[in-house]
Amino acid sequence: MKKITTLIVGMFALSTNIINAQNYHKCGTLSAMQMVEQNSPGYIQSTKNMFSDFYNGNNSRAISDTFLYVRVVVHIVYNTPAENLADSVVFNQIEILNNDYGRMNADTVNMRPVFAPIVGVDSRIRFVLADIDPQGNPTNGITRTSTNETSFFDFSNLLSEGVKSTADGGIDPWDQSRYLNIWVCDMSIPFLGPAVLGYAVPPSGLPNWDAGSTNGISDGVVIQYQVFGSNNPNPLNVGATTYVVKGRTPVHEVGHYLGLRHIWGDDTNCAGEDGLADTPKATDASAQDCDNTKNTCTDNIAGIDMPDMIENYMDYSSEDCQNSFTMDQMHFVRWVIRGFRPNIATVSFTEIQEIDEFESLLVAPNPANDMVNFKTNSSAQIKSLKLFNLSGQMVLSQNCNNAKASIATADLPEGIYFVELSANHSTKRLKLVVAH
């Protein structure tokens, strides 16, 4: 191995080539998959088979009107105050996930017209910070763990699995079949910087992959703390430049968690395949740039030899130019949730089932313009009312002690919110749409 002289941000690259500020990898998912393959031969092939099943099996590829709400818990594991990211950073990153998977991000206008036939739509997947922990206790979906570990990068296996274990200075995951666990920590190498910006475990439940964990590779997503959230106060210096952070590394890694591969198929010379028909071929990962002149492979998608899609979140292009998934990528992640991660998402936001006191609850109007009213015709009184935005941040809280309650919505931005109503012994959660 040649001497590594600058920032290392990809575990696969760690063992194969020189890393420099102009050409580096940022994702360690391939290395995680290769490690699993060593312990469970056939795993990588079974992952490829999943894509064949998607196209050839009995499945619906249409994105339905049904929203899928993915429960998320963010584990902040910190050694220094800088690593102990504020709640606002977490809320911001959840909002970015929802914007990007919902195609509500403002920079969609930067998509080149050539990709119009394949560009994705709203996946109708929404990421929501968990409000109930595995023991049934209320939570804001954020855990904080102070650790004596200065870095969780492990040279022995090129992974940062220690952050997923309380015994190793991190924190044990919440039920991985019910929650998307995201660990945020430092994975730096002394004097060099972060060894990897993130990695994820592709869907469990596949052949040779036990549910939740396989051979020590624990299910979930791990993110370098400096690239979590676009409002992160900690810059990431890459050689003489500063790495552009717009929260797209977690978008990329959650894509892996939901089964997506790198768009070049983790191979070179146009031989790689990500398994999806509408992602343009490429010889290799983009070099953290926004070079829109590249057309490194010949393909035929919608009758066009399309250029390299540097706008795709599953590339290694700069976060400045990433702005979209393709249509098949959006179909696929919903298919994966339904088939391989069915318990991490709910089609309603009601997780607590003790709703007898609200059996006759009336909500009107919904969608709301200026005002929304809540009324129960039972003997129950509404004790409190809380309103949350899509990032899981509480927007409003009020005590009621009445059979009626109201929320003024005239000044709220349009969008989807969640209302939590509490009575003496029950809690009900419901979706509220604000449309002016």
The tokens 């209302």 sit on which residue?
Answer: 419
Cβ atoms of residues 208 and 46 within 8 Å: yes
Distance, first Cα to last Cα, the chain: 60
Total residues found in the chain within this entry: 436
Q: In terms of C-beta density within 10 A (0-12 exposed, 13-18 middle, 19 or more buried), how is residue 65 classed? A: exposed
Q: Is 253 a catalytic residue?
A: yes
Q: What is the rounded CA–CA span in Å between residue 69 and residue 347?
A: 6
Q: What is the rounded CA–CA span in Å between residue 410 and residue 125?
A: 26
CA distances from 272 to 267, 269, 300, 407 (A): 4, 8, 15, 53
User: What region, left, alpha or beta, does residue 270 occupy, with left being phi > 0 and alpha being psi -120 to 50 degrees?
Assistant: left
- Beta strand 198-200 with 221-224 is antiparallel
Nearest to 54 by CA among 395, 374, 335: 335
Q: Which residues pair with 129 in a beta bridge?
A: 72
Catalytic-labelled residue, pool 83, 95, 161, 253: 253
Q: Report the catalytic residues.
A: 253
